[in-house]
Chains A and B, each alone.
Chain A
Amino acid sequence: MTEQHDASNVTNPEHAAHHIVTPVTYTIVFVTLLIFTGLTVIAAYVDMGIFNPVVALAIASIKAVIVILFFMHVKYQSRLIKMTVAAGFFTFAALITMTLSDYISRAWGLW
């Protein structure tokens, strides 16, 4: 059995180098999140009909993506990690959609 040492990640370059995110980036992210929090409160008091929940969820999703990319370093991770995170959220969306389609189709037209 041969042993392979790949200390410099030559054969497997997917092991991304440890990227240190600076406090400047964190501060920009922090301020952005606070601004979006203000925005979501303001938007809630504006009557947009059926678009109120859409806007609220859109803002929450933007905030979540910012947190995931920068606070949780996913932007700087290998494709394996990015894929793992995306797969998780995709599975969650698929489960919600499939369960909802069941509820909607059982009482068709009654909702």
Chain B
Amino acid sequence: MIVATHPHTHETAQPQEHEHVALPQHRHHFETEEQQREAGTFGMWLFLLTEIMFFGGLFFSYLLYRNWYYDAFVVASNQLSVPLGGTNTAVLITSGFCMALAVWAAEVRKKGLLVITLILTILFGCVFIGIKADEYHEKWEMHHIPGDHFDVAQFVNPHAYGLKEEPLPPDQAAHTQIFFSLYFLMTGLHALHMMIGLVILFWLLWRANRGDFTSGYVAPIENFALYWHFVDIVWLFLFPLLYLINRHPV
């Protein structure tokens, strides 16, 4: 037998007898909107913690192989472009800043500003992916993508390519493939997260433009912002670890 513990649902509740009935998105199993909001934030953080573990395995592989094949990691890392990587870091921070402003715009119920900041977030996100694609293309042309066509020539004979690095013995040079494997895995997984984020951003933009998030219902914007900032944080670690291992060869 089903016992009704709630005498009425929110649809039939009257504000005077049910004082926390305020917004249509407020679910009846939450006492207050604050409680509902906190439950959402809590859930989002639990998801982000699984993401930390997800990326964590790759960060650990990086740590281990960097210690084992340090020389190979240094020369391979020096093949990455610091200007491009640095620019991308700034672009990503700017995108995160725009997303933070979007949360504020939704909280103070400014629809126009919310739409603009979401568009800017998307724009900077796309610039990041564009620069990343350019870097990947350069690696493709240099035969620095691990596999059958990987070319160690630059690492066994750097002086012929105008590089100041010390030449590596062929067996050591082969280990640069491990660096590039981790580089493509980590930045690729990061870029995949960005692309998923961009798809969600377009959906949020469409809903924001409809006015969904500027009447007191901020949760989707807020929780997506958590995801977007998390992806930023991953990059904040990837940039120094992959691009800046040893930029001062003696």
A residues within 8 A CB of B247?
A: 44-45
Known: A30-B93, A60-B240, A67-B96. Contact between A16 and B108, CB under 8 A?
Answer: no
Q: Do the beta carbons of B34 and A56 come within 8 Å of each other?
A: no
Determine which of B32, B49, B94, B240 lies in contact with A30 in the assembled complex, contact meaning CB atoms within 8 Å: B94
B60 in the interface, Cβ–Cβ < 8 Å?
A: yes
Chain B positions 27 through 53: 1 when the CB is less than 8 Å from some CB of chain A, otherwise 0: 000011011011001100110110011
Q: Do the beta carbons of B236 and A72 come within 8 Å of each other?
A: no
Q: Among residues 81 to 97 in chain A, which have CB atoms less than 8 Å away from a CB atom of chain B?
A: 81, 84-85, 87-89, 91-92, 95-96
Q: Which of B89, B99, B250 has the most CB of A within 10 A?
A: B89
Q: Among residues 53 to 111 in chain A, which have CB atoms less than 8 Å away from a CB atom of chain B?
A: 53, 56-57, 59-60, 63-64, 67-68, 70-73, 77-78, 80-81, 84-85, 87-89, 91-92, 95-96, 99-100, 103, 111
Q: What's the least CB distance linking B209 to chain A, in Å? A: 21
CA distance A95 to B50 in the complex (A): 13
CA distance A80 to B226 in the complex (A): 16
The secondary-structure label for the interface of chain A is helix
CA distance A103 to B64 in the complex (A): 8
CA distance A67 to B31 in the complex (A): 30
User: Count the B residues whose beta carbon is within 8 Å of the partner chain — how many?
Assistant: 58
User: Count the A residues whose beta carbon is within 8 Å of the partner chain — how many?
Assistant: 60
Known: A15-B32, A15-B35, A16-B34. Contact between A95 and B56, CB under 8 A?
Answer: yes
Q: Do the beta carbons of B229 and A111 come within 8 Å of each other?
A: no
Q: A20-B104, A56-B240, A88-B48 are in contact. List 17 more A-B contacts (CB 8 A).
A: A15-B35, A18-B37, A26-B100, A30-B93, A37-B86, A56-B244, A57-B237, A67-B96, A67-B233, A71-B225, A71-B229, A81-B45, A84-B42, A92-B53, A100-B60, A103-B64, A111-B67
Sample of 14 A–B contacts (CB below 8 Å): A1-B5, A9-B34, A9-B35, A15-B32, A15-B34, A26-B100, A30-B100, A64-B236, A71-B100, A71-B229, A84-B42, A85-B45, A88-B45, A111-B67
